[in-house]
Structure 1
């Protein structure tokens, strides 16, 4: 059950008209786990107050969660994710900047999506955490990709551990959802390293600078 001590990588996904995304960065722990079995992932992450939501295979439909952050524990395979871009968004914004980011993760990685990031995936073995207002989906997968989704414990928002938004609302509705996403608290514990882990400080610092 050993956890490798690794420095986190961070990157931001800017908002689009149909994907709220986040002022908080996506946090990535590369090669943090040697044992990526479902049992080990659940033991390591649930002890830090992030609870199992399900065990799934590749999900290629862009979506985001407006009421929770999300941690992915990748059981097998590999994945490339499309983050932060709705099917309704143009490839570039009015200033010529690319909408969304493509993100590759592989065996032993962990990454965290903050609330409000839209995503989709292509697959490899890893553990990931998203702030879920960042839209996300798999673009392509390899190696019989499977993952476990985990969400911070605490009071349920709207009666559910997580909701699903398909990133197809009007810009006005997306703006309303962004306000809801911004009200979701930062977890007390890093899903991998627990109290005092990098995630909490990184996200609090980002909010202070926003």
Structure 2
């Protein structure tokens, strides 16, 4: 099965998440959930997802679970591709939305958007990556993080390519650069 057969037309769910006193979230770029974006073969490995992301310029990849506490990245966007299992992620902080993710789903988390896993199967595994291999920071919604984090978030632009669809769709369709 080649990569073009793995990448599927996904049902896209978008959320604009308001910030609060602890978590800035991102009102400029919506959170994007690509339900069923990857039709993974039983023989696929996490490298399959890493390769798709890398082909589109999203690198500095890792394979693991998602933290079970609220956190965000102020200096970069993040993509998570679900390799196996299922989990509920809470996005936007304690008052945010909850999204169920399963094998083959991909979620694009804009800079500043809080996220954590609230529950999941024991085998839940994601591949994470960042545009242009960005080194990510981790913020926890603690006193003193803002307004510096807000200023950093405001400087994070639209990536050159969507991690799944390249220049054809995804971020290029849903995330617009200020003119």
TM-score (norm 2): 0.87
Structure 1 segments unaligned to the other structure (5+ residues): 87-98, 121-137
Match of 2:31 in 1: 26
SS in structure 2 opposite 1:12?
Answer: strand
Q: Structure 2 matches for 1:25-174, cutoff 5 A?
A: 25-35=30-40, 37-85=45-93, 99-120=95-116, 138-153=117-132, 161-170=135-144, 173-174=145-146
Of the candidates 6, 14, 37, which is equivalent to residue 10 of structure 1?
14
Runs of 4+ aligned residues of structure 1 deviating over 3 Å after TM superposition are none
Query: Is residue 42–residue 52 contact of structure 1 (8 Å, CA) maintained in 2?
Result: no
Of the candidates 123, 128, 152, which is equivalent to residue 180 of structure 1?
152
TM-score (norm 1): 0.75
* Inter-partner Cα distance in structure 2 for 1:82 and 1:34: 24
* Inter-partner Cα distance in structure 1 for 2:66 and 2:156: 26
CA-CA distance at 1:37 after TM superposition: 2.8
Distance 1:140 1:17, change over 3 A: same
Aligned CA RMSD, in angstroms, stands at: 1.8
Match of 1:131 in 2: none
* Inter-partner Cα distance in structure 2 for 1:147 and 1:198: 19
Structure 2 segments unaligned to the other structure (5+ residues): none
